[in-house]
């Protein structure tokens, strides 16, 4: 924790991107979890300056994000663009704020902790003013993998994700629900469709989303060589990223042992048989839901799982607020 944010003062909190899907969820989660907030600054682009957002039943006027608007802040939640985080976060951190960044800009920077508080809260001790919050898909995956890793070690992970339109922000939801059916945000029309491409297609035929999922999973779990292979698919769902995961462990783990390990882990909601979760039930929840745990008859040390996460809450805002709570607790 920086010198500018002692426990004795109620923190000044800025939310950059307060008009966006993640930013408005950060405001909601801060209020729901009674995070200590002295002053709340809601920041956005010049376009939304002067508009209003709600926090704890009051309206706040949105200001344009700028270095001056962050002066004196103790916590800054960035939920805007990667470019804006790159431009504004270092100065805010140097001035004594702790930045919790939702963009991908700092996640793979070796000097920036990438944190899921249930898994690697110890990494926060190394922060130098910026903490990165993982990709929404990664958080769901690592929350399911960590208990299995602790129980039996990990050898190999293969995952297919089914990702909601809101993962692409407010414009993603608008494109899914608009009557016009134009495709500007997604590479094909999403309504009534399934698109095997989330984000940019790279020269190696994987996508930037797939590379994030692999690299961030390795960093959070502290397993830099873990074989992780994946396909990320966009589906016509508003909120909730799902994943079908095939995990190979070092030691054979029967499904009932895996279920016990998953049930004992904080932040997971585990179902058996028909008690699996689907995105419509998970939207608005903070747990990661794991179900369909079963052995792979083709391999003695492989298990299949089904995971679902609300990408805007635990996949973004809730995890970011938990990071700030953990920083306060550790200070």
CB 76 → ligand NAP: shortest distance, Å?
12
CA angle, 55 then 132 then 110, to 5°: 165
Helix (H, G, I), strand (E, B) or coil at 13: strand
CA distance 223 to 146: 11
CA distance 292 to 91: 46
Length of the chain: 331
CB 252 → ligand NAP: shortest distance, Å?
35
CB 122 → ligand NAP: shortest distance, Å?
23
CB 283 → ligand NAP: shortest distance, Å?
11
Pick the catalytic residue: 127, 133, 136, 307? Answer: 136
* Closest residue to ligand NAP using C-beta atoms: 20
CA distance 311 to 235: 13
CA distance 78 to 76: 6
Q: Looking at beta carbons only, is 37 or 238 nearer to ligand NAP? A: 238
- With residue 290 as reference, give the H or E element that holds it: strand 288-295
Q: Looking at beta carbons only, is 21 or 145 nearer to ligand NAP? A: 21
Is 241 considered catalytic here?
A: yes
Pick the catalytic residue: 127, 133, 198, 241? Answer: 241
- Positions touching ligand NAP (CB under 6 A) are 17-23, 44-45, 47-48, 65, 79-82, 84, 102-103, 136, 166-167, 169-171, 311-312, 315-316
Is 136 considered catalytic here?
A: yes
Q: Looking at beta carbons only, is 22 or 154 nearer to ligand NAP? A: 22
Q: Looking at beta carbons only, is 75 or 292 nearer to ligand NAP? A: 75
Contacts (Cβ under 8 Å, ≥6 apart) of 7: 328, 331
Look at residues 116, 146, 62 and name the one whose alpha carbon lies nearest to residue 320: 116
Catalytic amino acids? 136, 241
């Amino acid at each position: 924790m920086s010198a500018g944010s002692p426990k004795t003062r109620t923190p000044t909190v800025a939310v950059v991107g307060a008009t966006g899907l993640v930013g408005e969820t950060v405001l909601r989660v801060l209020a729901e979890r009674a995070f200590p907030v002295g002053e709340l600054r809601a920041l956005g682009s010049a376009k939304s300056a002067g508009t209003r957002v709600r926090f704890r039943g009051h309206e706040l006027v949105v200001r344009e994000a700028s270095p001056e608007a962050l002066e004196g802040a103790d916590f800054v939640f960035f939920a805007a663009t990667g470019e804006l985080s790159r431009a504004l976060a270092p100065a805010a951190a140097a001035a004594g704020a702790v930045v919790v960044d939702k963009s991908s800009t700092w996640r793979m920077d070796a000097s920036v902790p990438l944190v899921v508080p249930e898994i690697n809260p110890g990494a926060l001790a190394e922060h130098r003013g910026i903490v990165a919050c993982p990709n929404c898909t990664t958080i769901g995956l690592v929350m399911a993998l960590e208990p299995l890793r602790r129980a039996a070690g990990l050898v190999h992970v293969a995952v297919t994700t089914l990702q909601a339109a809101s993962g692409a922000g407010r414009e993603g939801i608008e494109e899914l629900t608009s009557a016009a059916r134009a495709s500007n945000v997604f590479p094909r029309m999403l309504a009534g469709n399934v698109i095997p491409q989330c984000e940019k297609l790279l020269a190696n035929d994987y996508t930037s989303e797939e590379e994030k999922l692999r690299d961030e999973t390795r960093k959070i779990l502290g397993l830099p060589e873990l074989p992780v292979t994946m396909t990320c698919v966009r589906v016509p769902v508003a909120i909730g990223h799902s994943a079908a995961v095939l995990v190979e462990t070092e030691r054979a783990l029967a499904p009932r042992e895996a279920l016990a390990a998953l049930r004992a882990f904080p932040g997971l909601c585990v179902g058996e048989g028909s008690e699996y979760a689907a995105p419509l039930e998970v939207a608005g929840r903070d747990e990661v839901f794991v179900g369909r745990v079963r052995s792979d008859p083709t391999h003695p040390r492989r298990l299949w799982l089904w995971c679902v996460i609300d990408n805007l809450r635990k996949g973004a805002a809730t995890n970011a607020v938990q990071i700030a709570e953990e920083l306060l607790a550790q200070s």
